[in-house]
Chains A and B, each alone.
Chain A
């Protein structure tokens, strides 16, 4: 039987591949590399980082679908570092995917923004 965490990671990866950021890299990565605007190593590094971040952002978003949460709650559920979660939440806020809805024990409560 497959572990639930692995299943969650696969589902998060499936979501991640729907992201515009990753799709852009898939499409343009080779072109940028051919134009010498990015070296092969740099592209590989960038893709690796983006894949990881997008999967983690999907994991965070999936947690927020369950219920609006604080960073500590997200960290407990996803086992990601709090600093890293904050960094990604800020990026998600910039992309209008997340908003602050409340405050609990001197921590902000984040929720997915309804489109």
Chain B
């Protein structure tokens, strides 16, 4: 008996996803336990709060080989630390500006709010970003 393994040669963008511990990480977990399909090339990095995410993290992820970066946190008003996600939202414009200044298409990054009960929303966000990045093409030297 012989087993055949087919390896897809299609390029799949690598996405670094920064998820807050209290909402989106649980949402991603729910997506998994609910068997909701989303691209497998996403690498989830758990942070305590999106307010913890320094703009450097996003730029560093792209520099170190990610094709796109997703930041996912609690809905405004639902932050476990009261206002961490609002700080992230204020920073986001700045990150987009820096990305553009560095000559990178801002479509490679995405900020979204997904609560612990929104596994589908998290999966949809990952899928949308992956599709956008797929259209833009690769942007990396490989993970380092």
Taking Cβ atoms with an 8 Å cutoff, the residues of A that contact B are 1-2, 5-7, 9-14, 16-18, 22, 25-26, 29-30, 44, 47-48, 51-52, 55
Contact = CB atoms under 8 A, between A and B. Distances in A.
B6 to A, nearest CB: 27
Given A5-B103, A55-B101, 11 more contacts: A1-B141, A2-B140, A6-B102, A9-B103, A10-B62, A10-B104, A13-B98, A13-B102, A14-B63, A26-B91, A30-B90
Q: How large is the interface on B (under 10, 10 to 19, 20 to 34, 35 or more residues)?
A: 20 to 34
B38 interface: no
A47 B90 CA distance: 12
Contacts, number: 57
A38 B91 CA distance: 17
A12 to B, nearest CB: 7
A47 B56 contact: no
B116 to A, nearest CB: 27
A51 B63 CA distance: 18
Contacts of B62: 10
Interface in B19-69: 54-56, 59-60, 62-63
B141 A10 contact: no
A81 B101 CA distance: 16
Interface of B: 54-56, 59-60, 62-63, 90-91, 93-94, 97-99, 101-104, 139-141
Contacts of A25: 94
B102 A48 contact: no
Contact of A51 (B94, B139, B141): B94
B94 A47 contact: yes
A30 B102 CA distance: 24
B101 A47 contact: no
A40 B45 CA distance: 32
Contact of A13 (B90, B93, B101): B101
B102 A2 contact: no
B90 A51 contact: no
A46 B102 CA distance: 18
11 contacts: A1-B141, A2-B139, A2-B141, A13-B98, A13-B102, A14-B59, A17-B59, A44-B93, A47-B97, A51-B97, A55-B98
B98 A16 contact: yes
A57 B82 CA distance: 36
B56 A51 contact: no
